[in-house]
Amino acid sequence: MGDSDDQTRPKLVEALKGYKVVDVACGSGDAQTLCATDDGQVWSWGDGDYGKLGRGGSDGCKVPNVIASLEKHKIVRVECGSQFSVALSANGVLFTWGKGDYHRLGHGSDEHVRWPKQVAEFKGKQIVEIACGSLHCVAVCSNNEVFTWGDNDEGQLGDGTTNAIQKPKLVTGLKGKRITNVACGSAHSVAWSTNKPESQGKAPNSVPMEYNHLNHLPMSTLRNRLILLHQFSDLYCPITPLVNLKEDCVTVCLRKILIPRSKDSVFRKNIQMTMMRDKSHGPVIELNRYQAKKARLRGGLAGPDGMKSVFGQVVSKMSVFTHPNLMLASRLWKVDDCGGGYSESIAEISDELQNGSVAILCQTPNGRSDSGANRDCFLLNPSSNKKIHHNMFRMLGILLGVSVRTGNPLSLSLAEPVWKQLVGEDLVTSDITEVDKDFFTRVKSGVTGLKCIKEMSDDMLISADLSFSTSGIIGQEVRLSPKYSKITPDNRQEYINLAIKYRLNECNEQIKWVRRVWSK
């Protein structure tokens, strides 16, 4: 319409006057709208977060605009999920774009995609029907095969599990049936079939990629190697609890030759032994998502200490999550009808933890300077040390633990050093540069890197008049010792040692609060 006013009656979309619309779709939450016209073009407007409007950025748009990259594909169908968009061309090519967590886009990763991208898994196939739930998709091929991908916490993907699926996967339970149409609710799927059995499928049109890597080896060598690796893994994995996993021979050598399926099987078996299966979900809680959204619109924290956010509301109810609830095989809680589904609340919490609504995570120094690795990743915020922050870190530990136990993803971009500390590994100096590449070499912003200080001549160091302090990961100045006010040639090495020690241990308190609950 060109404005943000609510409309109580239907009103003509002036920008589409003169075009014949053949399909239209609307997203949920902070939503977008798509439509396809009879000339094969796709128009999008509304909220632009995560690039779901398909024009390369995150800017919203109040009037319909054409998605130029789809003009040559003659699109006939459009669909919208929660924060992502789907388009189907006349010749059966499928495109997805927008938010990528929970693998809702089907590209094999959880990265956000800001331009329409063809789903590579369907190359050589013709898609004839497509449907989107909140965080999952269902597609039907011309040979009546049905594929699903995305979030699966309610079993909506039809594979008999509640594990998310990264790429389109055949629904074997529908094999042999002629599926003609599909539809999705927020977290369920429906398929229509005829009475006639499906015809025999065709062989793959292309040679699998693995063949090109191995075709120079004799078949007997491949067979013997495979048998040996499987036999070794089958013998070793069951005795894993008896092995000191900190030994180098295990972490460096054995890790590379153990069959992933065997490792995963042992891990899952031990997890499943402690699963509580008498309930499908934990306590029912009420979440005021409207309050959270309204608080976010003001910018900064969502209320005092972020407690008006969805995450903050869950933290305030943390006492209801008893130990048996943490052992459940699927949902930690069930949201009442006004709060949306469990997966949607988890997705919203992941966003809040990383968009500034809550203060317990902070962007890496590399992210702030837009250089080096881990620019899009986050660290635990060392300045978050109030009692309410302790509870927030404990809740984060619960969410991480439940995510690992149930196999349902938590879309958090935590930097690698955070994961090392969470699993009990000590950080080393190279971990510092992983998140702050200029820590040792910085020569600007009033801060001098450790390498520069080490290489300064005595006279230059004295004339530089540098304070005996360093910068923390959020940029704050930290005094390293009450004994010294300035760096001198005599205390130079002590300063360097203390600065490195501080950085390596800066988030220990926050890690402790997360691990204390996660380990349970």
With respect to residue 171, please indicate whether it lies within any of the assigned structural domains.
Answer: yes
Sign of the C-alpha dihedral computed for residues 59, 62, 68 and 73 taken in this order: positive
382 in the same domain as 452: no
233 in the same domain as 133: no
83 in the same domain as 230: no
Read off the tokens for 392: 């927030």
pLDDT reported for residue 199: 43
pLDDT band at 512 (very low <50, low <70, confident <90, very high): very high
18 in the same domain as 152: yes
Distance CA 190, CA 84 (A): 20
293 in the same domain as 416: yes
76 in the same domain as 217: no
Residue 180: give its domain's CATH number: 2.130.10.30
Distance CA 77, CA 92 (A): 10
Q: What is the mean pLDDT of residues 11-16?
A: 90
Higher pLDDT, 275 or 104: 104
Q: What are 421-442's pLDDT values in tens digits?
A: 998 888 998 899 889 988 887 6
With respect to residue 5, please indicate whether it lies within any of the assigned structural domains.
Answer: no
421 in the same domain as 436: no
Asked if 190 and 184 count as a contact pair (C-beta separation under 8 A), the reply is yes
Q: Is the pLDDT of residue 452 over 50?
A: yes
With respect to residue 334, please indicate whether it lies within any of the assigned structural domains.
Answer: yes
Q: Is the pLDDT of residue 197 over 60?
A: no
Higher pLDDT, 324 or 89: 89
Distance CA 40, CA 212 (A): 38
Q: What are 15-72's pLDDT values in tens digits?
A: 999 999 999 999 976 689 999 999 999 999 999 989 999 999 888 899 999 999 999 9
With respect to residue 7, please indicate whether it lies within any of the assigned structural domains.
Answer: no
With respect to residue 3, please indicate whether it lies within any of the assigned structural domains.
Answer: no
Sign of the C-alpha dihedral computed for residues 298, 300, 306 and 309 taken in this order: positive
Domain boundary among the residues 197, 218, 247 is at 197
Domain of residue 250, residue span: 209-272
Most confident by average pLDDT, 79-93, 256-270, 365-379: 79-93
469 in the same domain as 458: yes
Is residue 207 helix, strand or coil?
coil
Mean pLDDT over the full length of the chain? 85
Q: How far is CA 177 from the centre of its chain?
A: 34
With respect to residue 1, please indicate whether it lies within any of the assigned structural domains.
Answer: no
Instruction: From 267, 282, 410, select the one nearest 351 (Cα to Cα).
Output: 410
Domain boundary among the residues 244, 272, 300 is at 272
Which residue in the block uniquely carries the two structure tokens 């495109």? 95
With respect to residue 106, please indicate whether it lies within any of the assigned structural domains.
Answer: yes
Higher pLDDT, 244 or 458: 458
360 in the same domain as 327: yes
Q: In a 10 Å sphere around its CB, with 0-12 CB exposed, 13-18 middle and 19+ buried, how is residue 171 labelled?
A: buried
At 471, the amino acid letter reads S
Torsion of CA 430, 432, 434, 436, to 10 degrees: -140
288 in the same domain as 266: no
489 in the same domain as 374: no
54-to-47, 70, 81, 114, 128 alpha-carbon distances in Å? 11, 9, 14, 6, 22
pLDDT reported for residue 166: 94
- Provide the percentage of residues in the chain whose pLDDT is more than 70: 88
The number of distinct structural domains making up the chain is: 4
Asked if 339 and 359 count as a contact pair (C-beta separation under 8 A), the reply is no
- Residue 289: other Cβ atoms inside 10 A: 18
Domain boundary among the residues 144, 174, 197 is at 197
303 in the same domain as 391: yes
With respect to residue 4, please indicate whether it lies within any of the assigned structural domains.
Answer: no
Pick the range with the lowest mean pLDDT from 16-25, 208-217, 461-470: 208-217
Q: What is the mean pLDDT of residues 369-375?
A: 83
Instruction: From 420, 410, 413, 421, select the one nearest 373 (Cα to Cα).
Output: 413
